[in-house]
Structure 1
Amino acid sequence: MRIVLAELPNPLLPATYDIVWSLIVVAVLALMLTALWQALRSKAHTGGQQLLWALLIVLAPVLGALAWFVLGRQHSAAGPAA
């Protein structure tokens, strides 16, 4: 029986797969925590609005955080100047 190296599974594939998914998880957590921190510290929103933003960010981490950066921050940036 002859073993051909091309037929053996790549031992680095699981490690690469794990590293990529770990980096994705870290990026999502960083995005979520940054959005959550900014939403809770926002002076332009009331306590109820901050709570709703926090719930949206926690329940839908990627979409909620992106919504905060696109919609929530525009409101808080325009709020005090108006």
Structure 2
Amino acid sequence: MDDGTVNPTLPLAYDIAFTAVAVVWIALTTAALVSVSRSEPDRAGSRYWWCAVVVVLPFLGALAWFLFGAPRRQGARR
């Protein structure tokens, strides 16, 4: 059965892992953009700049928004 030809496709595990990373990336970026658009801007243009950061640096920008830019809820701390 092995006639020396090489299968040019990636193994199934790589394909599944790439798809999972892509889905997480899209979900995180979408959630960050929705969160930015719903937030109260503290300065003129801050919403614009956060959207630009999330779009230009999709994964890192979304993480930065959730870690540093998103406003904290009052009831979250005890």
How many pairs were matched up? 68
Q: Which residue of 1 aligns with 2:69?
A: 72
Higher helix proportion (structure 1 or 2): 1
> 5 Å matches for 1:24-43?
24-43=21-40
Q: Which stretches in structure 1 are left out of the alignment for 5+ residues?
A: none
Give the gaps of 5 or more residues in structure 2. Answer: 74-78
Q: State how 1:41-80 maps to structure 2 within 5 Å.
A: 41-46=38-43, 48-73=45-70, 76-77=71-72
Q: Which residue of the partner structure matches residue 20 of structure 1?
A: 17
Partner SS, residue 17 of structure 2: helix
CA distance in structure 1 between the aligned counterparts of 2:60 and 2:40, rounded to whole angstroms: 22
How far residue 77 of structure 1 moved from its aligned partner, in angstroms, is 2.5
Q: TM-score, normalised on structure 2?
A: 0.73
Quote the Cα distance in structure 1 between the aligned partners of 2:13 and 2:68: 36
Q: Is the 8 A contact 2:32 2:62 kept in 1?
A: yes
Aligned partners of 2:44, 2:37: CA distance in 1, in Å?
Answer: 8
In 1, the alpha carbon distance for the partners of 2:42 and 2:24 equals: 26
Kept in 1: contact 2:29–2:62 (CA 8 A):
yes
Q: Counterpart of 1:17 in structure 2: which amino acid? A: Y
